[in-house]
């Protein structure tokens, strides 16, 4: 019966008003809500909602077949009032300037939510890394770095991994930058290999930070993480490691997915097996021990904790009403639209917004940068302890704000973050 009605609804033109899925406009809507609560004056609003600097570059490289191809890359610095710009580099075919602008703004609010002394930036290259060789990726990364070199640096803007970039990408950026400036500059990127000034714990940090705040949310929702059912959408750095860490806490991973589709087993799946299967076949789809499920159906499974860990716009007006999770923890950036937020709030679903739930990555990036700048070497336990303290403090701050203003957790995080950046901006004053 349920299947029939679902099919019918899908084949009928949607009666719901269409919503704006442009990530940049979404990020501005989220900002505007907070600005209204904070009663920011019009001038300050303009300053904070506009990216400080946008750079678009052409990246010509020689492909393995001898042909030349020109890629397009972006680096956006949204705000640097509280410190250097900070944020990842994304390699994906669907990268757009508006997406990078949104991601840069989200980084500015994220660093402010966890209160680390950085601003927000982001970079992206329109490319399909799955169809490029390692040599092509290296040449593209080095040329991209060289093009944006004037605006990056340990005290200007510090890139890090994001979708389809990793520690190797960071090593190439660091080397290109260092060779150009004439000295080894470890602090120019974070998420580096451990052998090259990377921090212990950085690779797992996004997922670990997500776990830290889910633990806090579970206390409020009176959910025992042991035995809690968890659904993970996306199996990259954040999603695959989150699945593993939640399993270590004895939660049950009942479904997981990647860009090609998902697997589902109400009795639980083994994320390590999924990882090995994906390494061999390129996807978790078809792994033994679970039934196939589409990404669409996976999101609406009944579960305690839903972790969107893929791309933007996973939870929209189209499916928000059907979400059955008690907690939604956004390991991805921008997975829920503002209209879907309203639906989740009405359904009393506890939302851990991206700028809090996935801030563990940039938090340990900050620890990496501090270690690089001072020549420290911290143990993994030390890093994890500092991360947990930061995440729990941020959760408490956001939760308290949500109680004070009677708003849901996303708006609370924005009120906190925008308020912090606004204070820094006002006390600095306008130059000249």
Minimum CB–partner distance for residue 189 and ligand GLU (Å):
9
As a three-state string, the secondary structure of the chain is CHHHHHHHHHHCCCCCCCCCCCHHHHHHHHHHHHHHHHCCCHHHHHHHHCCCEEEEEEEEEECCCCCEEEEEEEEEEEECCCCCEEEEEEEECCCCHHHHHHHHHHHHHHHHHCCCCCCEEEEEEECCHHHCCHHHHHHHHHHHHHHHHHHCECCCEEEEECCCCCHHHHHHHHHHHHHHHCCCCHHHCCCCCHHHCCCCCCCCHHHHHHHHHHHHHHHHHCCCCCCCEEEEECCCHHHHHHHHHHHHCCCEEEEEEECCEEEECCCCCCHHHHHHHHHHHCCCCCCCCCEEECHHHHHCCCCCEEEECCCCCCECCCCHHHCCCCEEECCCCCCECHHHHHHHHHCCCEEECHHHHCCHHHHHHHHHHHHHHHCCCCCHHHHHHHHHHHHHHHHHHHHHHHHHHCCCHHHHHHHHHHHHHHHHHHHHCCCC
**Which of the residues 86, 101, 110, 122 is marked catalytic?**
122
x/- mask, ligand GLU, residues 287-326, rule CB under 6 A, reads ----------------------------------------
Stretch that binds ligand GLU, among 132-140, 148-156, 313-321, 356-364 (CB under 6 A): 356-364
Q: Residue with CB nearest ligand GLU?
A: 88
User: Is 236 a residue that touches ligand GLU (CB under 6 A)?
Assistant: no
Binding to ligand GLU, residues 325-344 (CB under 6 A) = 333
Nearer to ligand GLU, 299 or 362 (CB): 362
Nearer to ligand GLU, 118 or 277 (CB): 118
122 flagged as catalytic: yes
Minimum CB–partner distance for residue 311 and ligand GLU (Å):
12
User: Is 162 a residue that touches ligand GLU (CB under 6 A)?
Assistant: yes
x/- mask, ligand GLU, residues 362-381, rule CB under 6 A, reads x--x----------------
Binding to ligand GLU, residues 183-222 (CB under 6 A) = 190-191
User: Is 353 a residue that touches ligand GLU (CB under 6 A)?
Assistant: no
**Active-site positions?**
122
Residues near ligand GLU (CB under 6 A) are: 86-88, 160, 162, 190-191, 333, 358, 361-362, 365
């Amino acid at each position: 019966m349920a299947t029939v009605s679902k099919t019918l609804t899908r084949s009928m033109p949607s009666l719901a008003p269409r919503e704006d899925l442009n990530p940049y406009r979404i990020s501005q809507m989220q900002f505007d809500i907070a600005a209204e609560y904070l009663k920011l004056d019009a001038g300050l609003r303009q300053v904070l909602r506009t990216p400080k600097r946008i750079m678009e570059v052409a990246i010509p490289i020689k492909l393995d077949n001898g042909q030349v191809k020109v890629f397009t890359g972006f680096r956006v610095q949204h705000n640097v009032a509280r410190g250097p710009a900070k944020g990842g580099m994304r390699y994906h075919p669907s990268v757009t300037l508006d997406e990078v602008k949104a991601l840069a703004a989200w980084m500015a609010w994220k660093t402010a939510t966890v209160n680390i002394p950085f601003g927000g930036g982001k970079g992206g290259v329109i490319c399909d890394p799955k169809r490029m060789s390692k040599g092509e990726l290296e040449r593209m990364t080095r040329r991209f770095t060289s093009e944006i070199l004037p605006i990056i640096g340990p005290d200007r803007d510090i890139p890090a991994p994001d979708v389809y970039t990793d520690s190797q990408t960071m090593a190439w950026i660091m080397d290109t930058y260092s060779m150009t400036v004439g000295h080894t500059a470890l602090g120019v990127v974070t998420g580096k290999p451990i052998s090259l000034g990377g921090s212990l714990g950085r690779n797992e940090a996004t997922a670990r930070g997500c776990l830290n705040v889910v633990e806090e949310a579970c206390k409020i929702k009176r959910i025992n993480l042991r035995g809690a059912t968890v659904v993970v959408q996306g199996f990259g750095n954040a999603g695959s490691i989150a699945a593993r860490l939640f399993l270590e806490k004895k939660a049950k991973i009942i479904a997981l997915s990647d860009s090609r589709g998902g697997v589902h087993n109400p009795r639980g799946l083994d994320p390590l097996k999924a990882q090995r299967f994906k390494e061999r076949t390129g996807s978790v789809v078809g792994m033994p021990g679970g039934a196939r499920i589409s990404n669409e159906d996976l999101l609406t499974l009944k579960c305690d904790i839903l972790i969107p860990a893929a791309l933007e716009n996973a939870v929209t007006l189209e499916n928000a009403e059907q979400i059955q999770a008690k907690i939604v923890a956004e390991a991805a950036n921008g997975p829920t639209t503002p209209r879907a937020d309203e639906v989740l709030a009405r359904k009393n679903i506890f939302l851990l917004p991206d700028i809090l739930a996935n801030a563990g990555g940039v938090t340990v990036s900050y620890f990496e940068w501090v270690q690089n700048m001072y020549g420290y070497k911290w143990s993994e336990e030390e890093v994890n302890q500092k991360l947990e303290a930061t995440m729990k403090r941020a959760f408490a701050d956001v939760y308290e704000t949500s109680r004070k203003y009677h708003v849901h957790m996303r708006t609370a995080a924005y009120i906190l973050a925008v308020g912090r950046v606004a204070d820094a901006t006002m006390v600095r004053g306008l130059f000249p």
